[in-house]
Amino acid sequence: MEMSDIETAEQLCDFMTEPTDALVEFLGGLQGDVLVLGAGGKMGPELVETIVRADRQAGVSRRVLAVSRFSDPTGRAKESFLELGVDVLAGDLTERAFLGALPDAPHVIYMLGVKFGTSEDWRRAFHLNSIVPYLVGEKLRGSAIVVFSSTNPYPPVPPHHGGCREDDALSPQGVYGWSIVARESSFRTTAMMSPAQRLCFFRLAYAQHLAYGVLVDMARMVWQDEAVSLAVPAVNLVSQRDAIDVALRALGHCANPPFALNCAGPIVRVREIVERMGAIMGKDPRLAGPEGETAAISDDTLRERTFGPYRDGANDMVEAAAKWVMRGGESWDKPTMFGRADRNY
């Protein structure tokens, strides 16, 4: 199934949690439990389900442990984990007693973090994005940890530049960008103190889903005849399931000193995306200028060289988002603020 063929929430979940053959093979050879910290967020439930599906296909039996506060009042994430046979550890990683009681695991996916509201609450931003990572790094001294990071701290560049690479100097703007640098720095410090700890800084750009994401935000604006800002002239596009695939396979590339890896997808101009959506929807999209000259875009050549091509292409993702919005598909109501050129969230 192509993403643009998805019509129901059930099909969407099945699509987003389908493991690649490469992931099944990788997890089939991976020994030991997997601990997912911050598993109740946007990507966590589908990442955990992807692990379970891949393990089943590989004939592997292991503990998959999902750690989260589970603050969603619907309780859907926790229920889905229990149905999958996942071990659920409900608690707050900012509480020392809870963190200290966590079981050790050889493989860890670290997904805890905060983005929105950081410009108004510096304390919370640096507590969750820097102090807690340091404490987790101290606790899990001997683990391989894929640390969910961000491409946000790269300097803005013109779209024709091709995007920033992993060895480019970081130039964070805003509290969120600085707190991302602080997160990586905290883990880098614990790795220096613990030679057995291995890390991958998984620098993710916008991951595209249909219940949320940059593309459905744009599609909704086109459908509702709202003006789409061109202040950020271009974005990277990678589907959430491809991002999950890379994050899990990156467990095999954790290193000390840490290995940094962009996961971003192709660079596409916002104007082109919106015009394509307008054609699909039968709308004349409104664009709000002036068009920016630079954007926080990334080059993921290293990712392609390491893991091969993505499954989902940009054109199909754009078409899928337009059709999903036209059908009135499920929305998680989590705006991305993609048009914020100042990167204050």
* pLDDT at residue 332, as a whole number: 82
Phi, psi of 150 (to 5 degrees): -155, 155
pLDDT band at 85 (very low <50, low <70, confident <90, very high): very high
Give the C-alpha separation, 159 to 292, whole Å: 10
Tokens 């905290």 locate to: 186
Is the pLDDT at 337 greater than 80, yes or no? Answer: no
* pLDDT at residue 267, as a whole number: 96
Share of the chain above pLDDT 90, in %: 81
For residues 343 and 27, the model is more confident at 27
The Cα-based distances of 36 to 84, 107, 199, 205, 274 in angstroms read 14, 9, 14, 20, 36
Give the C-alpha separation, 28 to 23, whole Å: 8
Mean predicted lDDT score pLDDT of the chain: 92
Cβ within 8 Å of residue 268, ≥6 positions away: 234, 235, 236, 237, 314, 318
Nearest to 287 by CA among 270, 305, 300, 299: 270
Sequence ranges of the domains in the chain: 8-206+240-265+301-307
Is the pLDDT at 344 greater than 80, yes or no? Answer: no
Give the C-alpha separation, 50 to 20, whole Å: 9
Give the C-alpha separation, 239 to 233, whole Å: 20
In this predicted model, what pLDDT tens digit does every residue of 150-199 receive, in sequence order? 999 999 999 988 999 999 999 998 888 899 999 999 999 999 999 999 99
* pLDDT at residue 134, as a whole number: 96
Nearest to 334 by CA among 227, 168, 213, 235: 213
Give the C-alpha separation, 181 to 194, whole Å: 20
**Type of residue at 35:** L
In this predicted model, what pLDDT tens digit does every residue of 30-73 receive, in sequence order? 999 999 999 988 899 999 999 999 999 999 999 999 999 887 75
* pLDDT at residue 115, as a whole number: 65
Share of the chain above pLDDT 70, in %: 95
Per DSSP, the three-state class of 150 is strand
* pLDDT at residue 116, as a whole number: 59
Integer-rounded Cα radius of gyration of the chain: 19
**Which whole number is the average pLDDT over 91-116?**
90
Looking at 3.30.70.270, 3.40.1190.20, 3.40.50.300, 3.40.50.720, the CATH number of the domain 8-206+240-265+301-307 comes to 3.40.50.720
Cβ within 8 Å of residue 224, ≥6 positions away: none
**Which whole number is the average pLDDT over 218-243?**
95
CB atoms within 10 A of CB 59: 8
Q: DSSP label at 70?
A: -
In this predicted model, what pLDDT tens digit does every residue of 250-302 receive, in sequence order? 999 999 999 999 999 999 999 999 999 999 999 999 999 899 999 999 999 99
Q: To 5 degrees, how large is the angle CA 343–CA 45–CA 117?
A: 25
Is the pLDDT at 114 greater than 70, yes or no? Answer: no
Q: How far apart are the first and last CA of the chain?
A: 35
**Which whole number is the average pLDDT over 245-249?**
98
* pLDDT at residue 185, as a whole number: 96
Is the pLDDT at 341 greater than 60, yes or no? Answer: no
Note the helical H segments in the chain: 9-16, 21-28, 44-58, 76-84, 96-101, 122-126, 132-139, 174-193, 214-223, 240-249, 270-281, 301-307, 314-327
Torsion of CA 203, 206, 211, 217, to 10 degrees: 160
Contact predicate 15/3, CB 8 Å: yes
